[in-house]
A = this chain, B = another copy of it.
C-alpha cells in the first residue's frame, strides 16, 4: 500500500525561510511563529498520514454505492470524517464567529495540501463545503449566515456546487434550470445538474446545495443566472431539520478516478431554494466559490504529484534492477537500486523540483489572498486574480504529468492497481478538467486577466521578478549564473509573449488565443523559477549563517539548480510556438479535418 508522509519540514522552510510569514504585516500573521505553525503542521501530518491516507486505496476500490436513493461512502470514510470534524480541521481558516479557528489562508493551504495528498476523494467532501460556506459568507444575509455557517464550518452539514447541466458546462449561459418565485420569498427550483461532487452521501446530517438557475423573465444568457441555497432537508425556524426537499440523486457517475467521492446527477423537482446574493448576479456569487476552488484544484494537482513522488522515491531506492554503469553501488546485492540510473534520477528530479516549487507557489499565492482579505490590499488581490488560472492550469497539468512519471518508475507494477500508483494518476486527471478545463483557464488568463486594470497586475509581476533579480545580483557569481540569469531569460520570454499578444491580438484575437495554453505554461514556469530563486536565496542565507542542517539547504540549492537548468528553459519553446500565431492553428476548414 502506498504511504504518505507530510512534508512538514519543506513547508516550514517555505513559510519561514522563504516567505517570512511571521514578519508580514498581514493581520493574524504575527501569530505565525515557527513553533506555532510547526505544531499545527505536525498534528495535521499525523492525522492525514495515519487516518486519512490509509483510506485512499479503499475509497478507490469500493467507490460510492447508490442504493434506494442513499449513497454509501467507502468503508471507514464516515469514521475518519468524524475524527476530522472533532479536530476542527474543516473550520481551520473560517471565522471564529461561526465556530472556525480564524487561521490565515496560508495555513489552511498547507494543511489542505496534506489532506489532498493523503486522500483527494475524501478531502473533497470538506473542500466543497468550504467553498459553499465561503460563498454564503461573502453573499449571504445575516440570517443565512447564522442559519448555515456554524453547521457548515464544522462539516456537520456539507455543501455542494451545482453548475453543470448535460448540455452546458463552460457556457453556463445555456443553462435550463428554472427558479420560480414563490409568495413567501423562496423559489421552486427545477432542473437537472450533473457532475455534482459530494452531491449525496451518508457522512452529514444535511447537505447544502448551491444551485445556479434562471428566474423566468430575467435577462438572457449568463446575465440571467441566479444562485440559490437548496438544503437537502429544509431547516425549521428553530434550526432543527424539517422535511426532505424535492432534490434527489439520479445516479452516481462511473469515473476514471476519485471513486471515493460520490459524483452525482442531481434532480431538482420543484425543490425549495433561497436566493443567495442578488437576483441575476449568480455568477458573481458563484465566482467566490470558483476562485477558491480553482486554487484548491491547482493544489490537488501538486498534492497528487507529491504523494506519487514519495512512493516512487521509495520504490527507486528499494527495487534492485540493473547496475550503475559507472560501477556497482550495491556490490553485495544481486543488482543496484533503480535510483542509480540517470534516467530514473531525471524523472525523480523532475518530480521533486516541481512539487517543491509548486508548493512555494501555492503558499505564496495564499499569502496574497490573506493580504487581499485581511489587509484589503488591492494589489495583492489583483495579482492573485491574475495568478489563479496559472495555479489551476499549470499545477494541475504538471501535477498530472508528474504522477505519470512516478507511475513509470514502477514499470509494470505501476500499471496494476495493487501498488496504488495508477490511482494517483487517475485521481489527479480530474484536476485538469473541473472548475474550468485548463483550456478555459488559459483563455481566462490571456483573454481577461492579462489586460485587467490596464495590465497593471502583470506589470507588477514582472516588477517583482526584476526587483528580486536586482536586489540579489552581483553577490555570488554561481547564484547569478545558476538562478538569476535563467530567471531573467525566462521572464524575458514571457514578456516577449505578452508583447506578441498585444501587437498581434488586436488585428486578430486568434493570434493571442492560439498561444494561450503555451502562455499559461510559460507563466507557470516563470513563477516556479521565481520561487526557486527565492528558495535558493533562502538556502544560501541559511548556509551562510551556518545553519545546522547543511544537507537540507544544499539539497534545496541543487534541486533549484536542476529546475533552472532543465525545466525553466521550456519558456523558449512556448515562446516560439506563440510567435507562430494563429496561421497554422486555424488553417483548416472544419470539413477538412
Give me the interface of A with B, judged by CB distance under 8 Å.
164, 167-171, 173-174, 194-195, 253-257, 263, 313, 317, 320-322, 325-326, 334-335, 337, 339, 341-349, 352, 400, 404, 407-408, 411-412, 414-418, 422, 425-426, 429-430, 432-434, 437-439, 442-443, 447, 508-510, 513-514, 516-517, 551-552, 554-555, 558-559, 561-562, 565-566, 569-570, 572-573, 576-577, 580, 582-593
Contact = CB atoms under 8 A, between A and B. Distances in A.
29 contacts: A169-B411, A169-B412, A170-B411, A171-B322, A253-B416, A263-B416, A313-B593, A317-B593, A342-B514, A343-B516, A345-B514, A345-B585, A345-B586, A345-B588, A349-B588, A408-B433, A408-B439, A414-B433, A551-B589, A551-B592, A554-B592, A555-B593, A558-B587, A562-B584, A562-B587, A565-B577, A566-B577, A566-B584, A570-B573
Given A577-B566, A587-B558, A346 B517 contact: yes
Contacts of A349: 584-585, 588
Nearest to A508: B326
Contacts of A339: 590, 593
Contact of A588 (B170, B341, B437, B558): B558
Contacts of A348: 593
A439 B322 contact: no
A170 B592 contact: no
A176 to B, nearest CB: 10
Report, nearest first, the 7 A-B pairs whose CB atoms are least far apart: A342-B513, A256-B422, A562-B584, A558-B587, A343-B439, A171-B321, A254-B417
A437 B418 contact: no
Residue picked from A174, A414, A580, A588, most chain B C-beta under 10 Å? A588
A389 B592 CA distance: 33
A20 B110 CA distance: 61
This protein's copies in its complex: 2
Contact of A342 (B429, B434, B561, B582): B582
A416 B426 CA distance: 11
A517 B168 CA distance: 41
A592 B254 CA distance: 41
B561 A584 contact: yes
Contacts of A426: 256, 426
Given A174-B334, A313-B593, A430 B408 contact: no
A408 B432 contact: yes
Nearest to A569: B576
A174 B167 CA distance: 55
B573 A558 contact: no
A367 B321 CA distance: 35
Nearest to A414: B433
B168 A417 contact: no
A558 B584 contact: yes
A532 to B, nearest CB: 12
Contacts of A343: 439, 442-443, 513-514, 516-517
Nearest to A512: B342
B317 A513 contact: no
A342 B590 contact: no
Contacts of A404: 400, 429
A433 B416 contact: no
Given A326-B508, A400-B404, 20 more contacts: A171-B335, A174-B320, A174-B335, A194-B412, A255-B416, A256-B417, A256-B422, A326-B510, A337-B590, A339-B590, A342-B513, A342-B585, A343-B513, A343-B514, A345-B514, A408-B437, A561-B587, A562-B584, A566-B577, A569-B573
A77 to B, nearest CB: 21
A509 to B, nearest CB: 5
A447 B408 CA distance: 20
Contacts of A559: 588
A270 to B, nearest CB: 25
Nearest to A254: B417
Contact of A580 (B434, B566, B580): B566
A117 B551 CA distance: 50
A551 to B, nearest CB: 5
A584 B572 contact: no
Given A558-B584, A562-B587, A572-B573, A513 B325 contact: yes
A514 B317 contact: no
Contacts of A582: 342
Contacts of A580: 565-566
A439 B344 contact: yes
A531 B317 CA distance: 41
A560 to B, nearest CB: 9
Contacts of A342: 510, 513-514, 516, 582, 585-586
A588 B555 contact: yes
A411 B435 CA distance: 10
Nearest to A426: B256
